[in-house]
Amino acid sequence: MSHLFDRQQISLRETYPHEDTLIAEHFYHLWRDNDVPDSSIEPNWSDIIIKFIDRARQELSYKAFAIEVDGVVVGSTSCQLFAGLYPQALAVEYRKYGYIWGVYVEPAYRGRGLGKQLTKMAIDYLKSLGCTRAILHASPSGKPVYTSLGFVASNEMRLDLN
């Protein structure tokens, strides 16, 4: 970490609903940083993401967190209860999952532990909801961050159909 970065004021906080557009922008940049072509992203991506956040806030205990450097937001993450991919027939005490998504830090601020701090905030929030597990999908550059926090690869398997 550079000496200049050591002198900067870093703060973590929960975001406000009026900042949902910022969360949407970060989510868009996350996809672009992972080589998803712009032509593969819906033109109304911001509206789609904001509607998703609104529903998740109402139904799935959604929260987002931001990290600021000298008062400027340079990263964010979102988390919520995991809605599941199939019927939830297991007791909540056994299987109440939380999902972390959209961990994003602007390129100039990467490699300084900010994504790790954001992820820890999301983990703490999910713990406060009584979640028994946190799930996320990691980009190649994010995997070392998440493994350092104790995340392990799961048995998810994929088959591309096109």
Identify the CATH number of the domain in which residue 105 sits.
3.40.630.30
Please give the model's pTM, rounded to 2 decimal places: 0.89
Instruction: Give a yes or no: residue 117 inside a domain.
Output: yes
- Number of structural domains the chain divides into: 1
- Per the domain annotation, does 1 fall within a domain? no
36 in any annotated domain? yes
**For residue range 113-154, what is the model confidence (pLDDT) as tens digits?**
999 999 999 999 999 999 999 999 998 888 999 999 999 988
User: Looking at the domain assignment, is residue 158 inside a domain?
Assistant: no
| Tens digit of each residue's pLDDT, the chain (162 residues) | 444 556 789 999 999 999 999 999 999 999 999 999 999 999 999 999 999 999 999 999 999 999 999 999 999 999 999 988 878 788 777 889 999 999 999 999 999 999 999 999 999 999 999 999 999 999 888 899 999 999 998 877 888 898
Domain that holds residue 14: 8-148
In a domain, 58, yes or no: yes
Amino acid type, 127: K
Is residue 139 one of the residues assigned to a domain? yes
The secondary structure of the chain, three-state, reads CCHHHHHCCEEEEECCHHHHHHHHHHHHHHHHHCCCCHHHCCCCHHHHHHHHHHHHHHHCCCEEEEEEECCEEEEEEEEEECCCCCCCCCCCCCCCEEEEEEEEECHHHCCCCHHHHHHHHHHHHHHHCCCCEEECCCCCCCHHHHHHCCCCCCCCCCCCCC
Residue 3 placed within a domain? no
Q: Looking at the domain assignment, is residue 59 inside a domain?
A: yes
